[in-house]
């Protein structure tokens, strides 16, 4: 394994074209990673591996087609979806459903709104519980709270950063109505196990696939495995319009309810039939999305190609381990390329020192979510609300507080998680990917210097 790892590092040096690096890395080292300690860390006064800027997102995808789409919408005077049965939002919904291999799509103003719409459309509300991840954007939690249900947080699988089905199983009780698995970084959860739990306990499944456009698992598009799937088109996402979201599904009746909820409770016939906010996507968002859909799949494929390349270079390296993929994973959204940092292989240097060192080399790696949601102030806020005290027994709320322990999530957040922005960086060239690997290895080879940072 170590000899193969050394061979790949030699090939990386060849691809970058640095003769000095080739010579340094070609010398055998009895199966150990080759040292390049002569290359002084940039943060300590050496030359950085990379000085070139990374592509800027989303400005890098703005082209004449997108601008034309926005201009045409502006001139048309049709700025709301309710003004036209064939406007940009309706057109986008049809095109996106087709791309995702599902029957129906309902556009919303954000991914959070998409999730909240599904919770309400499924009749989940006061007294009900929904199990989800502590490692996600707060929008996932907010979507449950909007309907005054109780978000129950299960711990992570530490290597995949996804919900651990074994811990989910422990959290199911008679009040549990649904599971919201979150496909973190756009990579599939262990959906086989989650769907088995849902079937056993008669639970609804809403996929939070906000980071997972086009990703596939066991022959299916993420978002089509549960009853509905929710996506985000926020400015940082792989398909972007500033703010925006979508729900996909093939159950016509459920999707009609989703449409009605997001349309302030008004159905397609114009009858005001239920409770609902106004979560409609507007025509300008639809125009921006339509302007970039033609290249979206090509960008998705390039991210996957570069992600596989990085994984091949890191194979066998124990210092940074790529995000675990479950059996049946065919592709990922790669919102970020995520790795676990293991400091014991970097002379026990804290993650922050590693990140400072590699940042100085011109490769920006970072942590992701700063704190697990089980430790945020919203918990005590809702537990103190009169409505939650009325809807749930004192014993249940006390148990809830006591069970909000997610040690795996804490380790991921505080010590291990390292990401390379996937949405833009993974659209680079192979030489860009080699810069990432060479920067990692330069820091590794100088790991005994990290304490001085």
Query: What's the longest Cα–Cα distance across the chain?
Result: 76
Q: Is 250 exposed, middle or buried (0-12, 13-18, 19+ CB in 10 A)?
A: middle
Q: What is the CA radius of gyration of the chain?
A: 24
DSSP string for 101-137: T-SEEEEES-HHHHHHHHHHHTT--TT-EEEE-SSS-
Helices marked H in 17-76: 19-26, 64-76
How far is 284 from 269, CA to CA, in rounded Å? 24
How far is 257 from 115, CA to CA, in rounded Å? 13
Contact, 106 vs 262, CB < 8 A? yes
How far is 422 from 305, CA to CA, in rounded Å? 12
* Angle, helices 111-121/252-262, rounded to nearest 10 degrees: 120
The Cα-based distances of 422 to 130, 177, 186, 339, 342 in angstroms read 30, 34, 10, 12, 21
- Our answer to whether residue 324 is catalytic in this structure is no
* Nearest partner of 449 among 46, 48, 28, judged by Cα: 46
- Helix (H) or strand (E) segment spanning residue 269: none
- Helix (H) or strand (E) segment spanning residue 421: strand 417-421
Contact, 43 vs 357, CB < 8 A? yes
How far is 446 from 42, CA to CA, in rounded Å? 11
Catalytic residue among 237, 313, 442, 449: 237
Residue 96: both structure tokens together: 């996106």
Contact, 295 vs 61, CB < 8 A? yes
Contact, 179 vs 194, CB < 8 A? yes
β pairing state of 228-232 and 220-221: unpaired
Catalytic positions: 237
């Amino acid at each position: 394994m170590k000899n193969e790892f050394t061979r790949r590092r030699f090939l990386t040096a060849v691809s970058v074209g640095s003769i000095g690096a080739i010579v340094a890395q070609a010398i055998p080292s009895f199966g150990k990673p080759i040292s390049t300690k002569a290359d002084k860390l940039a943060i300590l006064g050496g030359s950085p591996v990379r000085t070139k800027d990374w592509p800027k997102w989303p400005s890098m995808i703005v082209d004449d087609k997108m601008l034309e789409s926005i201009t045409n919408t502006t001139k048309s005077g049709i700025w709301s979806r309710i003004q036209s049965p064939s406007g940009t939002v309706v057109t986008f919904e049809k095109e996106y459903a087709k791309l995702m291999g599902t029957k129906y799509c309902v556009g919303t103003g954000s991914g959070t709104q998409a999730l909240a719409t599904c919770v309400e459309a499924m009749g989940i509300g006061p007294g009900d519980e929904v199990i989800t991840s502590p490692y996600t954007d707060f929008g996932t939690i907010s979507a449950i709270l909007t309907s005054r249900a109780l978000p129950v947080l299960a711990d992570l699988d530490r290597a995949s950063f996804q919900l651990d089905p074994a811990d989910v199983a422990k959290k199911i009780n008679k009040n549990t109505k649904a599971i919201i698995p979150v496909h973190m970084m756009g990579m599939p959860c262990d959906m086989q196990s989650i769907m088995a739990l849902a079937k056993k306990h008669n639970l609804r499944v809403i996929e939070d696939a906000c980071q997972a456009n086009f990703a596939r698992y066991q022959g299916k598009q993420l978002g089509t495995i549960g009853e509905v799937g929710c996506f985000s088109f926020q400015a940082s996402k792989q398909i972007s319009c500033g703010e925006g979201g979508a729900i996909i599904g093939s159950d016509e009746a459920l999707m009609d309810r989703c449409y009605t909820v997001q349309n302030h409770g008004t159905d397609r016939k114009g009858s005001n039939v239920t409770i609902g906010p106004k979560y409609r996507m507007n025509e300008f968002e639809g125009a921006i999305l339509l302007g970039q859909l033609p290249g979206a799949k090509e960008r998705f494929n390039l991210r996957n190609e570069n992600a596989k390349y990085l994984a091949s270079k890191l194979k066998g390296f124990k210092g940074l381990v790529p995000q675990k993929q479950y059996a049946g994973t065919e592709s990922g959204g790669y919102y970020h390329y995520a790795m676990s940092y293991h400091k014991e292989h970097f002379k026990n240097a804290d993650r922050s020192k590693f990140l400072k060192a590699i940042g100085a080399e011109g490769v920006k790696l970072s942590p992701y979510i700063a704190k697990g949601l089980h430790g945020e102030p919203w918990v005590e806020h809702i537990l103190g609300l009169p409505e939650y005290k009325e809807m749930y027994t004192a014993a249940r709320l006390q148990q809830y507080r006591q069970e909000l322990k997610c040690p795996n999530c804490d380790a991921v957040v505080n010590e291990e998680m390292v990401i390379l922005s996937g949405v833009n960086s993974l659209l680079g060239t192979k030489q860009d990917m080699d810069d990432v690997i060479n920067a990692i290895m330069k820091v590794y080879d100088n790991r005994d210097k990290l304490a001085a940072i």
